[in-house]
A = this chain, B = another copy of it.
């Protein structure tokens, strides 16, 4: 089968991005939102009307708004397939289970798409390209699964099957816990003197970056997934208590840092493969337009691919340290190449 008309209930970033992606591929789309302004914007952006009957209804509302639309959407589109896109899944299954929409007609899904905050105006049709898109297909009718799978593949998502409970545990660990820990850490900065903040380095910046996230978005995600989060927070609490009680014991402190190193090594590197061992090449650059361009130009000339990079700026003066993550060979090649060109290249480290 081929999707001809998809109805998207919720015109935020995710809903509208799905609409844009489908429209680009010639699928008819109806955008719906309680907020008339959002709906109008999404309709204008997506602009792919259809008179065909609806094949697939996507719930792209906040979790809290789901209950209010389930029955009416099912009644109006009784032959359609249904799916959602919310970041917590067990709670959604409970909501659907207590509505008129049969669970066999509904596929719980979660696209792990890069969050660019902000409604229909931030939507892009390629938001899901190459990103994992989790589905829980247990007990779902084959035609519903086929429609949803077709949609995910059309949008370039990478299908990952996890049951809802496991999904919620996984995102609690790799996404929700880091959010809370970063927020709790950044909260502690409130107690420091302003002049201390001038001493902040890349470590503090990195650990607190996601503490800048939107409280309105996260309050719902955290509370909806509290069942999976609770044991993780309690394990953290227990580890923290133990650290506090053994803060003068060098071996106990080293054990915490070592356990952290091991945990960190579990995170896979680029392209979903195993964690790669990069070699890091530090280069001091002048902080003005054109320096990064020249540097990357040299990388291209040397035929070296930059795997990742970090920029650290010196306070009070206009030089900066850029650290490139490279393969070992790449680092050696680039280091020689840049030195010949007069760049201020430091010793690579792995």
Contacts and interface: CB of A to CB of B under 8 A. Distances in A.
A289 B297 contact: no
Nearest to A309: B311
Interface stretch (A36-44, A52-60, A138-146, A258-266): A258-266
Interface in A153-174: 158, 160, 162, 166, 169-171, 173-174
B239 A237 contact: no
* Among A169, A182, A257, A290: residue with most chain B CB under 10 A: A257
Contacts of A171: 199
Interface residues of A, number: 142
Contacts of A284: 126, 129
A285 to B, nearest CB: 11
B250 A244 contact: no
A195 to B, nearest CB: 8
B196 A114 contact: no
A321 interface: yes
Nearest to A296: B293
A194 B179 CA distance: 20
A63 B218 CA distance: 43
A116, A202, A287 pick with most chain B CB within 10 angstroms: A116
A110 to B, nearest CB: 9
A315 B132 contact: yes
Contacts of A265: 212
Contacts of A179: 203, 257
Contacts of A315: 130-132, 158, 268, 271-272
A68 interface: no
Contact of A271 (B223, B249, B316): B316
A72 interface: no
Interface string A174-208: 11011111111111111111111111111111111
Given A170-B192, A183-B259, A233-B240, 14 more contacts: A121-B347, A124-B347, A130-B316, A162-B195, A175-B204, A178-B185, A178-B208, A180-B256, A184-B256, A186-B260, A192-B266, A268-B315, A271-B314, A293-B299
Interface of A: 112, 114, 116-118, 121-122, 124, 126, 129-132, 134, 158, 160, 162, 166, 169-171, 173-175, 177-216, 218-220, 222-223, 226, 229-230, 232-237, 239-241, 243-244, 247-251, 253-254, 256-268, 270-272, 280, 282, 284, 287-290, 292-300, 303-306, 308-309, 311-319, 321, 344, 346-347, 349
23 contacts: A114-B321, A129-B314, A174-B189, A174-B204, A175-B201, A177-B185, A183-B256, A185-B260, A186-B262, A187-B263, A188-B232, A189-B266, A191-B232, A198-B272, A205-B267, A209-B264, A216-B254, A222-B253, A223-B253, A230-B247, A233-B240, A289-B299, A289-B305
Query: Which 7 pairs across A and B sit closest by C-beta, in order of nearness?
Result: A130-B314, A183-B260, A272-B315, A189-B263, A293-B296, A186-B263, A170-B196
